[in-house]
Amino acid sequence: MKNNSSLKKITGSREFLLAIIVLLLFIVVSIRNPAFFTFESVTGMLKNNAVAMVMALGMLCVMLVGGIDISITSTLALAGMSIGMLLKYNHISSTLLTFIIAMAIGLACGAVIGVIIAYADVPPIIATMGFMYIYRAMGYLVSHGGEWASAAALGKFKDFATTKFLGLSLVIWIIIICYAIFFYFMKWTRLGRKIYAVGSNAEAAQVSGIDVRKIKMLVHTIMGFLAGLAGALQVSVYASAQPDMQQGGEMDVIAACVIGGVSMSGGRGTVLGTLLGAFIMAMIPKALPLLRIPALWQNMIKGVLILIVVVVNVVLQRIADRNALRGREM
């Protein structure tokens, strides 16, 4: 009986349904083009989408408390452009120090946003919209008005993305480590439970002794930290630093979370669901060219596919919820 109930719980979960969608997408595309389902193809897809996959974890935290952050790619650009210029003019040479500087810049950017939202009671969409423009402008200022840092100027740092450990790029190892840490953090730590509590009912959380303002500031600081890390990954993976990098990419990060089952109103969402949502978002742009779909149609089809996945996911989840309710009634 216990095994049956565990099986029903797994098969009725949103993550299981998302895994089925991922599997179906793989099968459909692989039938048309077998090159899609190869080790090189999958690892290349993960590496090229590492930025969005890492930032999706921060967006998960922000959305769990009922917030949103549309400034993340501007934070990424500021952090990435800053280390790009430091590398270009030989102010730093250590890869580890470069990552630390990028993450520190991102953390500072996120903390400022967190203070404005948590302690000045500015709505997240308004605050992050303002900082989206501010941080992007600061990125241009750092770049001396639009100057690039090309591959030749980045020195050893660009080699980080091409270095492998146990057959996998170090960039993919960063994705694995980030998701492992957040899986533990959100599921088994008091802070993780507090984030869920604030998103589920902020007033009840406050009454129970949780400092709601600190939690809101924390999630935006985490988001900024991961955006800074993503900025360093962006520079290494694409071997260049530009002030306009990833402009508009925040929508893909938000879409990954929504596809993964993260509620826009807060309190609901998981790290595994976010991973699957980010994976689906990584698969779509990789699959469309392999299916020989003209570039003119790719964005429209991408939008349609995102809507279909979200709708199918929601419908299947409702069916699973009804079945679970019937099981409890019986």
Give the pLDDT score at 75: 95
Query: 95-99, 176-180, 274-278, 297-301: which has the highest mean pLDDT?
Result: 176-180
Q: Identify the pLDDT of residue 181.
A: 95
pLDDT band at 298 (very low <50, low <70, confident <90, very high): confident
Q: How far apart are CA 78 and CA 135, in angstroms?
A: 6
Residue 316 or residue 36, greater confidence: 36
pLDDT at 153 > cutoff 90:
no
Q: What is the mean pLDDT of residues 87-112?
A: 90
- In this prediction, residue 29 has a pLDDT band, given cuts at 50, 70 and 90, of confident
Q: What is the mean pLDDT of residues 101-109?
A: 96
Q: Kindly tell me the burial class for residue 230, based on how many C-beta atoms sit within 10 Å of its own C-beta (0-12, 13-18, 19 or more).
A: buried
| Residues 83, 92: Cα–Cα separation, whole Å | 8
CA distances from 207 to 46, 66, 201, 202, 212 (A): 42, 18, 10, 9, 10
Q: Which one has a higher pLDDT value, 299 or 257?
A: 257
Please report the pLDDT score of residue 1 as a whole number.
45
Residue range 81-93: mean pLDDT, rounded: 84
pLDDT of residue 22: 81
Q: Give residue 51's pLDDT.
A: 93
Backbone angles phi, psi at 266, to 5 degrees: 95, 165
**108: enclosing H helix or E strand:** helix 95-119
CATH level 2 (architecture), domain 14-322: Orthogonal Bundle (1.10)
pLDDT(7) > 50: no
Provide the pLDDT for residue 8. 47
Higher per-residue pLDDT: 100 or 22: 100
Mean pLDDT of all residues in 274-281: 90
Look at 119-123, 195-199, 287-291 and tell me which has the smallest mean pLDDT. 287-291
Which residue carries 């742009």 as its tokens? Answer: 285
Cα–Cα distance list, 57 to 85, 193, 313 (Å):
27, 16, 20
Q: Is the pLDDT of residue 17 over 70?
A: yes
Average pLDDT over residues 10-33: 75
Average pLDDT over residues 142-157: 77
Q: What is the mean pLDDT of the chain?
A: 85
pLDDT in tens, 163-221: 888 888 999 999 999 999 999 999 999 999 999 999 888 888 888 889 999 999 999 99
Looking at the DSSP bridge assignments, the partners of residue 241 are: 149
> Which tops the pLDDT comparison, 297 or 60?
60
Residue that is written with structure tokens 């978002």 in the block: 281
Residues 45, 286 contacting (CB under 8 angstroms)? yes
Answer yes or no: is pLDDT of 154 > 70. yes
pLDDT at 313: 65
Q: Which amino acid is at 17?
A: L
In the predicted model, is pLDDT for residue 41 greater than 70?
Answer: yes
HSE of 272, CA atoms in CB hemisphere, 13 A = 10
